[in-house]
Chain A
Amino acid sequence: MSVLVYTENWDGKFKKLSYELVSYATAVAKMINSSVSVLSIGKVDEKELSTLGNYGAQKILSCEKEILSSLDNQLYASVISEIALKINASVIVIANNNTGKAIAPRLSVRLKAGIGSGVSKLPLSTNPFTVYKKAYSGNAFAHVILKSEVKIITLAQNSFDLTETPNIASIEKIDIDINSSAAKTKVQEVLRQTGRILLTDADIVVSGGRGMKSPDNWPPLLELAETLGAATACSRPVSDEGWRPHEEHTGQTGKIIAPNLYIAVGISGATQHLAGVSASKYIVAINIDKDAPIFEVAQYGIIGDAMKVLPKLVTALKNR
């Protein structure tokens, strides 16, 4: 019996998300008296693989097959399920990101395993195995029993804290027999956005809205972001006006993010924008209008002129 974690890698490196999965799996393993194995697919060096051990991984399986260098759902599902069966995994933990959403359902059918999708807490009980997840787009939370023998959990990003459980993990390179024609989908081209912290990965996001009045007013906001090591975002009118790049647009029709801290500057808090950021752990609003709806969802607020408040915040941060 073991808990199997599948993690992807990004150019041979793991992200905080990977360690969240392992931390979570370690906690679950403790609940069911089991061990944690991690499967990594792709070219990752041993040093990087061993970091998984810091969060509780006991066994690390690395599969570097060339044919798996890009994601083919069918192929990945067959590889992961083969490993899961081999190590007798009873719980499989995957991220609830695009990759996880692509693979988990196929795994579920292969292994006849029930899925808890977008889980945000440790299982509420192990018998029956009950997970906790959001439903009705956050208007309710559901307790879901996974009735099957094997269970799959896709973990919501940034919902579980990293917990270090240092140990030396064994690293095993595995080889799987795969027919070269098995991958039916082929990647023709990859278009990457370079540089900057990915908005969806950032822990802290500083975002500007129409209340900033003009693109020329952004430097204090950018300075705050830099001081905090935060990513930058914006509301729809700002992106439409061309004040900020399109990729920064968060909201119903833009990116949906869930950082630890979302600082909304000069954003009124229209529902469409909030739809993109309401899952943030903490929302801070800075706005000159005391009646701005954003103050109804923010935990902390400053009613004032952003141009005056932002520099003061930067100074306060620098003085720590």
Chain B
Amino acid sequence: MVVRSLHATNVRYNNPMIRQIIFAIILLITFSVFFYTISRLISYFRLTKPSFPVRDFGKRFGIMMKVAFGQTKIFRKPVIGFLHALVFWGFCVIIFGSIEMVFDGLTGSEKAFRFFGPVHDFIMASGDVFAFLIAVSIIIFMARRFFFHIKRFEGTEMKKKSHLDAAVALMLILLLMLSLAAMNMGYVGNKSATGGDIAGLYPVGKLLAAIFSGLSADNFKVIYEISWWVHILLIFFFANYLPYSKHFHVFMSVPNVFLSRLEPLGKLTNMDNITKEVKLMLDPESTSAAVPVAAAFERFGVKDAEDATWKNYFDSLSCTECGRCTSVCPANITGKKLSPRKIMMDLRARMKEKGPLMVKNGKDYNDNRSLLRDYITEEELWACTTCNACAKECPININQPSLIVDMRRYLVLEEASAPGELKSVFNNIENNGAPWQYSAEDRLNWARDLIVPVMSDVFAKGEKPEYLLWVGCAGAFDDRYKKVIRAFVKILTHLNISFAVLGKEETCTGDPARRAGNEMLYQMQALQVIAKLKAYEIKKVITLCPHCYNTFKNEYPDLDGNYEVINYLQILYKYSIEGKFKINDSSLKDISVTYHDPCYLGRANGIYDHPRFIIEKLTGNYFEMHRNKSFALCCGAGGAQMFKEAEKGEKEIFIERTEDAIKTGATVIATACPFCMTMLTDGLKYKNKEGDIKNLDIAELVAQSLGL
């Protein structure tokens, strides 16, 4: 009875027309649903703000090949990254087989792409092998998820829904692979048994068919048919499930990488609407009339989903909730509320909530809720150190910090809201040109007995020094860092480099204001500094502080401040290469050194090798911390954290980093940033190691080796 009905079914199925029609209908339904989903998403994209223009296609293509197809960022976690790469590459190959299946389904053919010959063989074979590899990987992933406690899969943002989503996605992929494997086994088994033509190569399928050799040709055929339908239906289902799942990244990841933000990580986007206002504030006499307040209603910064850019939204849809960003976030590691993953998930969720309401009722619709406060709290936003570890870690180049800073911008520029200490910092920068309350008159006190050319004197004599040495506020006012500036000035003098300082005319570059969201104050400072440099016809600037370096190099060009910006390490490196350093000073013989990468030199600007090169010239005993270079843990001072109390957490970031340094056993921690120096020196005090371990700047080490 059963055999007959099966046979009847076979007959029916063997009727190509019905099969094709059914397939076509299912395909049509699939496309319709997919089209509906995509058009809704597009309507939400229309609500967002513009972002950077998409140009430089060559560069983008290169990044896509490297990061997306090469999986380079995924490999930052080598072992689990390799398994993911297998899954991804497998999908890339299997997609061709899936296209073939659709073609077969519509046209009633079997393995229609067979005419590609050896290429078809290769694709089928790889698909077959990958099906097995992917299935194994997925089982490993599932075991990890369900039986092991993996920290980055947990978090306040990881609700039951996320875990279920993950489980469903993994299950679906596993079933897809099993059905593919079964399909191939069935095909090979049937063709072998009936002596038919095998189109393509199926090594695993062949193996499985051999294992189940007891099955008849008909059995294999049934297995093939059922698996074929299961597989293609799963694909159709999966394709439509993805946009509603965290696994949307299957579609979105490659485009998201192609659409990567190409600017250096340290660079924040200039707010041009603020530039207009600030120029007016600086020159009230200017003929351009003030933009009437009513007309200028465009909101500053990001408060709700519609204030974000299309790229932020694209990022949020592409985010697969893997948690790598959160697992390297110094704030999160030390128990603060901030989780970069949560920021992206919240944007996606909020757009899902408000998008339909705005599409229906108009863009001005107010549901009395907001991304800010109802989803993302101020505490999370103010915990960020802007270290860019999250952006560096994200396998698909999502940029979380730009959204965090944009939300800070809203708080400061619209609501005048910021932690109290930062408001004092803003007032200080505005009133006395430095984040702390010090008089500009004292900006040369560090120079004391040294001969330091001052720009105003030098320029008045008609001279033009080659470099402007930018001392920075820390160099001028931080008692510890003054010694570093002195050391470097002694080196410059020793090397006969022509330079001058602005002295009392120097003011804050505006960097702390910018990181804290006060774009207006930043631009005021920036424009004033740029005007001053223009008056002195400055072309080249040397800085020590990485924050000043980043601001001059990456951000001042947006405001027409264009200079050749050189970090002091690059000067030291250059002169070291040219052999102008007298190495092998005995005072450095016995020290062992470890180096802490400043975030604004390392991740933000890619400078990792120069400092190491210099240190290794000075001493043979160099030890790397386990979290180093682009993996280095922030000292905790960036993002204006230096000037405020830390947000509530379990531990202080600077203590965590000091512990990294102490673990190396080095007797000297070398730093290249005034903030890092303050933090690590404090860290040594807290750990009662000040007697055993010294924190020195690279300039001090070099000066020492030169006997200065």
Contacts and interface: CB of A to CB of B under 8 A. Distances in A.
Interface of A: 213, 271, 291, 293
- How large, as a class, is the contact surface on chain B? under 10
B43 interface: no
Interface in B406-437: 436-437
Contacts of A213: 688
A293 B438 contact: no
Interface string B69-96: 0000000000000000000000000000
A205 B310 CA distance: 62
Contacts of A271: 436-438
B479 A293 contact: yes
Interface string B475-496: 0000100000000000000000
Contacts of A291: 479
B475 to A, nearest CB: 16
A291 B437 CA distance: 20
A308 to B, nearest CB: 15
6 contacts: A213-B688, A271-B436, A271-B437, A271-B438, A291-B479, A293-B479
B661 to A, nearest CB: 21
B434 to A, nearest CB: 12
Interface string B426-452: 000000000011100000000000000
Nearest to A214: B688
Interface of B: 436-438, 479, 688
A312 B67 CA distance: 67
Contacts of B436: 271
The 6 closest A-B CB pairs, nearest first, are A293-B479, A291-B479, A271-B437, A271-B438, A213-B688, A271-B436
Nearest to B483: A291
A271 B442 CA distance: 13
Contacts of B688: 213
B288 to A, nearest CB: 39
Contacts of A293: 479
Contacts of B438: 271
Nearest to A293: B479
Nearest to B688: A213
B606 to A, nearest CB: 35
B238 to A, nearest CB: 55
A213 B437 CA distance: 27
B678 to A, nearest CB: 13
A213 B438 CA distance: 27
B684 to A, nearest CB: 13
A1 to B, nearest CB: 46
B462 to A, nearest CB: 36
A267 to B, nearest CB: 14
A173 B16 CA distance: 123
Nearest to A210: B685
Contacts of B437: 271
B467 to A, nearest CB: 29
A26 to B, nearest CB: 41
Nearest to A292: B479
A261 B202 CA distance: 93
A179 B437 CA distance: 50
A293 B688 CA distance: 22
Nearest to B438: A271
B423 to A, nearest CB: 14
B642 to A, nearest CB: 15
A291 B438 CA distance: 19
A271 B432 CA distance: 15
B276 to A, nearest CB: 37
Contacts of B479: 291, 293
A293 B479 CA distance: 8
Q: Most A CB atoms within 10 A — which of B436, B438, B479?
A: B479
A140 B436 CA distance: 23
A38 to B, nearest CB: 42
B560 to A, nearest CB: 36
B401 to A, nearest CB: 29
B40 to A, nearest CB: 52
B435 to A, nearest CB: 13
B169 to A, nearest CB: 48
B194 to A, nearest CB: 84
A297 B438 CA distance: 16
A229 B436 CA distance: 36
A293 B436 CA distance: 16
A225 B387 CA distance: 46
B473 to A, nearest CB: 14
Nearest to B482: A291
A44 to B, nearest CB: 44
A100 to B, nearest CB: 29
A172 B479 CA distance: 60
A271 B434 CA distance: 14
A291 B479 CA distance: 9
A114 B571 CA distance: 64
A293 B438 CA distance: 14
A293 B446 CA distance: 13
A58 B102 CA distance: 115
A293 B478 CA distance: 11
A303 B437 CA distance: 27
Nearest to A240: B645
Nearest to A211: B685
B320 to A, nearest CB: 42
B201 to A, nearest CB: 71
B164 to A, nearest CB: 45
Nearest to A289: B479
